[in-house]
Chain A
Amino acid sequence: MRKGIYTATVALVALVLAASMIAISGQTAALKLEGGYSNSALEVKREWQNIWSLFDKAASDAIADDISSAPTCNYTIGGVRAKAIDYFNTILAEFENCTVATISVNEASPGEITFSVDGLVCRREFEDEFIVEYSKSPEFKKTIVIVGASPCTITITDAQSGIVEVDV
């Protein structure tokens, strides 16, 4: 009788201990999985931020290059738009997980150009069960000052940050 009691006790302890270990192990695995998902989400956002940063610079580059293409040191909205779309598409080609719906370029007032990127989306799928998508529609506003005409000086300032991006 006594032998049976101790054996049963030890067996019960063994079961409880094993069950506890399995539970802890399961929780750890779940934690690791969640950590992986969290990192994946951050990666997609970083990818989006990287594109945003490149678009910001490319917008000023498009303006500068359109001005340089004109013999009279001037730009046209149509010319800037065409270059911007071309430059933005070159950047997008580097990021296979990101797309843009539409790109529009408008001149609110002389010397103030706004680039609107509608639906800049970065999206990744993980084994058909987890999808990360980061989407926003950023705007880039640039101020252009041209002094003189062939030769001329060109100053392009990022209106949102105040940083002078082109000064030649």
Chain B
Amino acid sequence: MRKGFIFSLDAAMALVIVAVIALLFATQFQVVGPDEAYPASERVARDYAIVGGHLGKDATDMGISGLPPGNANYACVTVYKYGDIQVDGSQSSIDSEKYCKGIG
């Protein structure tokens, strides 16, 4: 290393610091990139769930699954559905159903 040229010690340290800072911010950018911030497939899953709930269709009828929650790869939404109307003097049941769709 020739002291006094581009490879001076303080210049080398500055390069290292810049590299570290760049790496840190680049990593952060990857983690919270726009695609992961609000994936379109999650919106689609929720819209399908609402439509399915209104039409009285099961999750599978809407092309989505009723997979159990807790799976990070699935967007799930709970929809309340009105039970079959009976002429019996009392209100039909109101049940909740969970609709899920894979997030790809």
Contacts and interface: CB of A to CB of B under 8 A. Distances in A.
B91 A61 contact: yes
B57 to A, nearest CB: 12
Interface residues of B, number: 43
B37 A35 contact: yes
A91 B79 CA distance: 12
Contacts of B68: none
Interface in A57-77: 57-58, 60-61, 64-65, 67-69
Q: How large is the interface on A (under 10, 10 to 19, 20 to 34, 35 or more residues)?
A: 35 or more
Which of B14, B26, B28 has the largest number of chain A CB atoms within 10 A? B14
A54 B83 CA distance: 9
A25 interface: yes
A150 B5 CA distance: 105
Contacts, number: 121
Given A21-B21, A28-B34, A42 B14 contact: no
Q: Is the interface of A mostly helix, strand, loop or mixed?
A: helix
Nearest to A11: B14
A28 B5 contact: no
Contacts of B26: 21
A168 B87 contact: yes
B51 to A, nearest CB: 9
Given A10-B11, A39-B38, A46 B77 contact: yes
A68 B94 contact: no
Contact of B14 (A14, A24, A32): A14
Interface in A77-99: 86-87, 90-91, 94
B29 A65 contact: no
Interface in B22-41: 22, 25-26, 28-29, 32-34, 37-38
A18 to B, nearest CB: 5
Contact of B82 (A28, A54, A65, A168): A54
Interface string A32-68: 1001101100110010011001100110110011011
Listed from nearest, the 3 A-B pairs whose CB atoms lie closest are A35-B38, A21-B25, A57-B82
Interface of B: 3-6, 8, 10-11, 14-15, 17-18, 21-22, 25-26, 28-29, 32-34, 37-38, 42-43, 46-47, 50, 53-54, 77, 79-82, 85-92, 94
